[in-house]
Amino acid sequence: MSFPSRVRIVEVGPRDGLQNEPQTVPVEVKVTLIEMLADAGLAAIEAGAFVSPEWVPQMAASGEVYTRIDKRPGVSYPMLVPNLKGLELALAAGVREIALFAAATETFSQKNTNCSIAQSIERFATVIDAAQAEDLRIRGYISCVLGCPYEGEVSLETVAMLARELFDRGCYEVSLGDTIGVGTPGKARAMIERLAQDSPVEKLAAHFHDTYGQALANLHAVLQCGVAVVDSSVAGLGGCPYAKGATGNVATEDVVYMLDGMGIETGVDLDKLLAAGRYISDFLGREPVSRAATALWRKRAG
């Protein structure tokens, strides 16, 4: 199969990235970051999570972040929601799009959401019904699709079953999380080929963490299988608080650099994206975790 002519990038740095930072990032810094990302042309920016503040303190002020961002027409700002309580908080903040999440192994499901896989299906079904009654757009996530930090190998049948559940109940897209970045291109391709047997491949998104440096190679592989949506994180921010050692998502700068080079449209302005990555990296007091960003900044410095 050939490559898509256009890829939709879902920027997850303000949520997946900042949820894992040891230091608290103030609301105004998050708001500025999100607005810089929208300026750069990103049309989907995951802005926060209505999860338990006991579990993930870094996302505690997500309602305030959401209400303060200057929402641009044509840009969606999905918010992560784990249960009805999260949905209630999202609705109170005026959220129009939510993202639900489930995991492909029992242990990760327990560690991340305190419930079994079967209970997570019941839970997201209830949230989907309530969210549909409010006309919200709903995105779904599956974690650990290429490996689990607790159980190792993951059953592709469980991943496929969860994808079907999420689609059948009304998710417009299902994002496949290589939460700990252990996948390699052949495995990533085999996963998409299996899912494509009973799920719409054009509605699958690749959400690859770059822990083992495989994310771009894995993306290159799945883009040839009909996937045209990529989740990434500016400056490579991120990780998962319940997957020890998991580093950030693939960096948005690296994805845009690769796709620009391949002549695949993204609508993202790399210069403005670099500025957003620099802004948050300066705040965190470190360099962006992106080879492309590092090289481009060095080149500019002469």
**Cβ nearer to Mg ion, comparing 251 with 296:** 251
Residues 6+ apart with CB under 8 A from 159: 104, 142, 145, 176, 191, 194, 195
The minimum distance between CB 300 and Mg ion, in angstroms, equals 30
**Cβ nearer to ligand HMG, comparing 4 with 181:** 181
Q: Name the residues that contact ligand HMG, by CB under 6 A.
A: 16, 19, 49-53, 55-56, 80, 82-83, 85-86, 89, 101, 112-114, 141, 143, 177, 179, 207, 209, 240-242
**Cβ nearer to ligand HMG, comparing 203 with 207:** 207
**Cβ nearer to Mg ion, comparing 62 with 296:** 62
Q: Give residues 14-53 in contact with Mg ion (rule: CB under 5 A).
A: 16
CB 63 within 8 A of CB 85: no
Nearest to 184, CA basis, from 142, 215, 224: 215
What would the DSSP string read from start to end of 139-175?
A: EEEEE-TT-BTTTBS--HHHHHHHHHHHHHHT-SEEE
Place of tokens 């050939």: 2
Rounded to whole angstroms, how far apart are CA atoms 270 and 295?
Answer: 13
The minimum distance between CB 195 and ligand HMG, in angstroms, equals 15
- Residue whose Cβ sits closest to ligand HMG: 177
The minimum distance between CB 179 and Mg ion, in angstroms, equals 6
- Residue whose Cβ sits closest to Mg ion: 16
115 catalytic per annotation? no
Q: Which residues bind Mg ion (CB under 5 A)?
A: 16
Q: Which residues are catalytic?
A: 240
